A = this chain, B = another copy of it.
Amino acid sequence: MTWREGFIAVDWGTTNRRAYAIEPDGQVSNEMEDDLGILSVAPGGFEALVDELRVRLGNRPMLLAGMVGSNRGWREAPYVPAPATLDGLLQGLWWSDDRRCAIVPGVSYVSGDDADVMRGEEVQLFGAAEAGMIPRDGLVCHPGTHAKWAWMRGGAIEGFRTIMTGEMFNLLRQHSILSDALKTDANLGDAFEAGVDHGLHHDDLLAELFSTRARHLLGRDGHGDRASYVSGLLIGQDVRLGLRCAAENSAVAVLGKPELTRLYATAIRRAGRGATESEGEAAFVAGARLIAERLG
């Protein structure tokens, strides 16, 4: 079976994976998601899991992206340096011996002392740009465990910056002195917006985090919903740093999970910039199709 006759695309991250069976017409005919991220796979265990994916989704060629191509994953596919194009990704694919599995390389960015890496988001970025979901030039925000702010030029990834906002929220929620207050989900509203405004206009994150606890202990918790306030605070500082990545003032394309793009788009608008939202999952499928078409 060739790639054009249908394939499987896998977004295999650190803590979970999503796989899609994609038909010749580009439609997703079947999909699955589980928590078998690369950290849950023992060394030498990837081949069996790939076989099992084919039992579930069809005996087809398979395109894999994300941390599965890192030094902790199945095989390391070395980073393609930015500015990175789709051609660069194609040249950097790692191929299994039977040529029925290809792993997409990540992208690296170096500028002076700045250095950054991504794995997985590049498929979404190229897919979204090609499908017209985001502009081929401009600033893209991809929220998540490690939020990425990428600036695109002519459809290429010119550079990007990572801000570990999602991981920080999880650390605070699971292990910190604030954890009791963060058990609920963050929601749009006054508390979230107050947190965003603080994060946008102040650079005192590790002090303000403690202040949320002190205000609560002293009965001065005017913002009410602390989880939403802290989420807003973290996203506000993220947007403050991210907007510095590009000089122009055009709208920011926010690409990712809808529950996150909604929060980020709100924060970006409070910073006085326009924001559009696109779904990361659709962008991933579009990007995987784009690559598969070039594989023949």
**Using a CB–CB distance below 8 Å, which chain A residues touch chain B?**
14, 71, 79, 108, 110, 114-117, 146, 161-165, 167-168, 171-172, 174-177, 203-207, 209-211, 213-215, 217-218, 220, 234, 237-238, 241
Evaluate contact between B162 and A167: CB separation under 8 angstroms: no
Evaluate contact between A164 and B203: CB separation under 8 angstroms: no
Q: How far is the CA of A163 from the CA of B211 in the complex (A)?
A: 9
Say how far A112's CB is from chain B's closest CB, in angstroms. Answer: 11
Evaluate contact between A205 and B207: CB separation under 8 angstroms: no
- Given the known A-B contacts A108-B218, A115-B214, A237-B206, are A167 and B176 also in contact in the complex, defined by CB atoms under 8 Å? yes
Contact of A116 among B165, B210, B237 (CB under 8 A): B210
Q: How far is the CA of A176 from the CA of B176 in the complex (A)?
A: 12
Q: How many copies does the complex hold?
A: 2
A-B contact pairs, 25 of them (CB 8 A): A79-B217, A108-B214, A110-B218, A115-B215, A115-B218, A115-B220, A116-B210, A116-B214, A117-B217, A117-B218, A162-B210, A162-B214, A163-B207, A163-B210, A164-B207, A164-B209, A165-B206, A168-B206, A171-B175, A203-B203, A205-B206, A206-B234, A206-B237, A206-B241, A207-B241
Say how far A280's CB is from chain B's closest CB, in angstroms. Answer: 19
Q: How far is the CA of A165 from the CA of B70 in the complex (A)?
A: 31
Evaluate contact between B115 and A207: CB separation under 8 angstroms: no
Residue in chain B with minimal CB distance to A219: B115
Evaluate contact between A206 and B175: CB separation under 8 angstroms: no
Q: How far is the CA of A165 from the CA of B218 in the complex (A)?
A: 22
Q: How far is the CA of A246 from the CA of B218 in the complex (A)?
A: 24
Q: How far is the CA of A261 from the CA of B115 in the complex (A)?
A: 31
Evaluate contact between B206 and A163: CB separation under 8 angstroms: yes
Say how far A272's CB is from chain B's closest CB, in angstroms. Answer: 19
